[in-house]
């Protein structure tokens, strides 16, 4: 049996009782395309590895890896993973994969990164990759959560882009971050309602300052729960977009947010 490589935890950040992010070392040999996921975990008490799919939240140029996770109180992995601290080791399988990648989309003008909850993780990778801005004129990152506190990770990442000397130069004013909440009052600059509602009423397009989805101009990546994916997918299809994959690039791509 080949053993699974380990990486060292460098930092953890807890956002709510249910959400945290962590950074780890990255081996030089660990290559991925922004938006992909890898199998990550801990050694189980029975001596067997306990692994789950985790989207890599950092872009492919970064020296370290970043992940954004839910904490499930009785979840076999996350009930333990939430207690990791700098210096601890995690298991990380090489050879990430996934469909939320630029290669799975046809060329277009506006890239929409539509997420709920931890579904934002692959998109904080894509939104920090200069190649994204070579391929698209505009990028709209959306995240919908139940509460404003759950939006903080995405807010911090976008703040980081704006403060980064190199990235802010590349991105300029071409990235729009739209955050919405569904179960409490929205914070300043945030919207109220599910992204599917905001698409149907047209509020999302109005706020982004661009026309509604068209097969010519728009490309969409979707990541959230199964129900969210199905509803958002239906709106893409209604706009005339077709689902893409690595083998056959299209107008939109989907992936279920993992763990939880």
Q: Which is nearer to ligand A2P, 42 or 151 (CB)?
A: 151
- Judge contact between 223 and 119, C-beta under 8 A: yes
194 belongs to the binding site for ligand A2P (CB under 6 A):
yes
- The distance of closest approach from Cβ of residue 225 to ligand A2P in the complex, given in angstroms and rounded to an integer, is 4
Q: What is the DSSP string of 80-107?
A: HHTT--TT-EEEE-S--B-S-SGGGB--
154 belongs to the binding site for ligand A2P (CB under 6 A):
no
145 belongs to the binding site for ligand A2P (CB under 6 A):
yes
Stretch that binds ligand A2P, among 22-30, 52-60, 88-96, 221-229 (CB under 6 A): 221-229
- The distance of closest approach from Cβ of residue 183 to ligand A2P in the complex, given in angstroms and rounded to an integer, is 5
- DSSP conformational letter for 56: -
| 105 to 134: interface string for ligand A2P, x by CB under 6 A | -----------xx-----------------
Q: Which is nearer to ligand A2P, 43 or 72 (CB)?
A: 72
**Encoding tokens for residue 202?**
């047209």
Q: How far apart are CA 95 and CA 112, in angstroms?
A: 26
35 belongs to the binding site for ligand A2P (CB under 6 A):
no
User: How far, in Å, are 37, 40, 83, 213 from residue 129 at the CA level?
Assistant: 15, 22, 30, 23
Exposure letters 50-81 (e unless 16+ CB within 10 A, then b): bbbbbbbbbbbebeebbbbbbbeeebebbeeb
Stretch that binds ligand A2P, among 9-17, 46-54, 189-197, 200-208 (CB under 6 A): 189-197
- The distance of closest approach from Cβ of residue 163 to ligand A2P in the complex, given in angstroms and rounded to an integer, is 28
Residue 69's φ and ψ, nearest 5 degrees, are: -130, 150
- The distance of closest approach from Cβ of residue 38 to ligand A2P in the complex, given in angstroms and rounded to an integer, is 22
- The distance of closest approach from Cβ of residue 1 to ligand A2P in the complex, given in angstroms and rounded to an integer, is 36
Residue 176's φ and ψ, nearest 5 degrees, are: -115, 130
**Quick one: which of 6, 16, 25, 182 contacts ligand A2P (CB under 6 A)?**
182
Residue 255's φ and ψ, nearest 5 degrees, are: -155, 140
Binding site for ligand A2P (CB under 6 A): 116-117, 144-146, 182-183, 194-196, 225, 227-228, 231
């Amino acid at each position: 049996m080949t053993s699974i490589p380990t990486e060292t935890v460098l930092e953890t950040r807890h956002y709510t009782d249910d959400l945290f992010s962590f950074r780890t070392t990255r081996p030089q040999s660990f290559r991925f395309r922004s938006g992909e996921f890898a199998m990550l975990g801990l050694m189980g008490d029975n001596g067997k590895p306990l692994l789950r799919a985790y989207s890599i939240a950092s872009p492919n140029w970064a020296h370290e890896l970043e992940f954004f996770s839910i904490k499930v109180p009785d979840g076999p992995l996350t009930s333990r993973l939430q207690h990791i601290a700098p210096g601890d080791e995690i298991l990380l399988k090489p050879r990430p994969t996934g469909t939320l990648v630029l290669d799975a989309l046809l060329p277009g003008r506006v890239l929409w990164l539509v997420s709920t909850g931890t579904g934002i993780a692959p998109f904080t990778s894509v939104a920090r990759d200069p190649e994204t801005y070579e391929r698209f004129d505009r990028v709209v990152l959306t995240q919908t959560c139940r509460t404003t506190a759950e939006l903080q990770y995405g807010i911090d990442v976008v703040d980081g882009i704006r403060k980064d000397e190199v990235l802010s130069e590349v991105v300029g004013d071409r990235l729009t971050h739209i955050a919405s909440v569904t179960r409490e009052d929205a914070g300043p600059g945030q919207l109220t309602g599910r992204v599917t509602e905001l698409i149907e009423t047209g509020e999302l397009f109005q706020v982004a300052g661009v026309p509604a989805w068209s097969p010519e101009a728009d490309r969409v990546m979707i990541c959230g729960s199964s129900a969210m994916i199905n509803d958002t997918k239906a709106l893409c299809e209604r706009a005339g977009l077709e689902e893409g994959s690595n083998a056959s690039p299209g107008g939109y791509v989907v992936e279920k947010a993992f763990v939880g």
